[in-house]
Structure 1
Amino acid sequence: MDGMSNMEHKSYTHMTFFWGRNSEILFAGWPGTRTGMYVLALVFVFALALLVEWISHCRLIGEGLKSNRVVAGVLRTIMHAMRVGLAYLLMLAVMSFNVGVLIAAILGHGVGFFFFGSRAFQKTPPPGKASTDLPTTNL
């Protein structure tokens, strides 16, 4: 009997959409088969999508930094890299083909856009001023 037969490894890789908590999202063995961990994974995906929307619509570079074009450019580059990196991480989570993860991602983007991008809670910027630090993504 070899050492591999004693270890049982279950893989939850699916190649079609499915509904269920037995899956792997982003990391091997996570969330596994436990319902609480699956719910935590859904909350994580929702928060990740919300964070992507916040970064996409935030204004962090103040008027003082805008006068220094190099510093403002470096900050915008860092923000862009963070947005793209988090969006790729979110894409990988959705590629688990779990319907719950897909719904959590869509809801996170929707809620994030409502709060940060729809201007329902913001004043309209004066004409000629950008409403965000980063350009919009072309999805």
Structure 2
Amino acid sequence: MSGDMTMPPGSMSNDTMNMNDMIMHVSFYWGKEVIILFQGWPNNRLGMYILSLFFIFFLSVAIEVLSISLPAKPGMSPMVGGLTQAGVYALRTGLAYMVMLSVMSYNLGIFMVAVAGHAFGFFLIKCCALAVGSRTGATTNNTPKV
């Protein structure tokens, strides 16, 4: 067995793999020619690509919003509270996997809106927490006094 592992000419370039007329990028690229989550979506149409960018952005925001844990209501059964939190966790994990698979398309637009969505969702959660904390008189500076 020789150590020559060359590919046949035209079968693979530095940034794409062509598999039966389906191009799979293996490095980041710009453009609307992308497949996100489902075959044929956004189908190389600019309007559908922009819609998919909004979709990924809102999925990322939803992941951050679902990451906060709300306290159980008084009198709620521990089983019901646990099942509710497990359901929210399962939903959040499923959405996170969808965003991860979208980012694995290696499209820079998708990557940027996913990161922006996570950052915006985190910002919303922190703003709401600070607003609630200031209304209740809680301090935001938890440094110990010496």
For each residue in 1:5-54, what CA deviation from the matched residue of structure 2 results, as whole angstroms up to 9, or x when unmatched?
Answer: xxxx7424211110111110111011121100000000000000000011
Unaligned runs of 5+ in 2: 1-19, 139-146
Say yes or no: does 1:32 pair with 2:43: yes
Say yes or no: does 1:70 pair with 2:79: yes
Distance in 2 between the 1:46 and 1:89 partners? 12
Stretch of structure 1 that moved more, 107-116 or 53-62: 53-62
Distance in 1 between the 2:91 and 2:112 partners? 23
TM-score by length of 1: 0.75
Amino acid across the alignment from 1:76:
Q
Amino acid across the alignment from 1:123:
G
Unaligned runs of 5+ in 1: 1-8, 128-139
Distance in 1 between the 2:137 and 2:89 partners? 24
Give the direction of change, closer, same or farther, for the CA distance of 1:108–1:55 in structure 2 (3 Å limit). Answer: same
Q: How does 1:1-139 map to 2 (within 5 A)?
A: 10-57=21-68, 59=70, 61-65=72-76, 68-117=77-126, 119-123=129-133
How many residues are matched? 117
RMSD, aligned CA:
2.2
Q: Residues 49 and 87 of structure 1 are in contact (CA less than 8 Å); yes or no, is this contact kept in structure 2?
A: yes
Give the direction of change, closer, same or farther, for the CA distance of 1:64–1:126 in structure 2 (3 Å limit). Answer: farther
Distance in 1 between the 2:108 and 2:121 partners? 20
Q: Secondary structure at the match of 1:62?
A: coil
Which structure's CA Rg is the greater one?
Answer: 2
Q: Which structure is richer in relative contact order (CA contacts within 8 A, separation 6 or more)?
A: 1
